Chain A
Amino acid sequence: DAMVIQNPRYQVTQFGKPVTLSCSQTLNHNVMYWYQQKSSQAPKLLFHYYDKDFNNEADTPDNFQSRRPNTSFCFLDIRSPGLGDAAMYLCATSATSGRNEQFFGPGTRLTVL
């Protein structure tokens, strides 16, 4: 089945220790997104790619970076995680034609100690 895969599902890191979350997709979608979701809050868009074209949200902290080496993979790098960065990180994809729906992965739960 075509899908969006996120690894790891749970990540524990220490305050200030860089961490990388990964996302892969078998849907062959042009657009990939990274969201941050804290408990009982809306998913907050951090950035997205259309192919290699990177689109950063104005309020995304510089501490968050992303790479998309090819269509299938996208990475979220948190350079110096703070306690406030503990959250669920969701990757999603979408095609640029059709219904505009987004397909989400299961998320990575990040804990910062």
Chain B
Amino acid sequence: SQKIEQNSEALNIQEGKTATLTCNYTNYSPAYLQWYRQDPGRGPVFLLLIRENEKEKRKERLKVTFDTTLKQSLFHITASQPADSATYLCALDPLSGGYNKLIFGAGTRLAVHP
């Protein structure tokens, strides 16, 4: 069956350290993968998109990698700050019809402690 898996346990890290979140998928062959941030009681906010032919994408303190052989994406936040505390969702296109359709993972909650 098709699955997108993110670590359901919260990730607790110290301010200033690098946070690394994992997204694994099975039985999908996405052309791209996206990462979103979701704060409690709010809608997700787009952060980064990485295409299947890109190994790595960066935006300020954020870095995303995409390994289509391992079927995995890693999301890194360097020099993390308490304001980075949120749930981070990965999403991929299922290539199953529709328009810019996305299938989301359940997200990993990140807590950055001062």
Contact = CB atoms under 8 A, between A and B. Distances in A.
Interface of A: 4, 30-31, 35, 40-45, 48, 50, 55, 88, 90, 92, 94-96, 99-107, 109
A96 B45 CA distance: 18
B32 interface: yes
Interface residues of B, number: 24
Contacts of B41: 88, 106-107, 109
A107 B49 contact: no
Contacts, number: 65
Contacts of B107: 40, 42
Q: Which 3 A-B pairs have the closest CB atoms?
A: A104-B43, A101-B46, A42-B104
A43 B36 CA distance: 12
A42 B99 contact: no
A48 B101 contact: yes
Contacts of A40: 8, 106-107
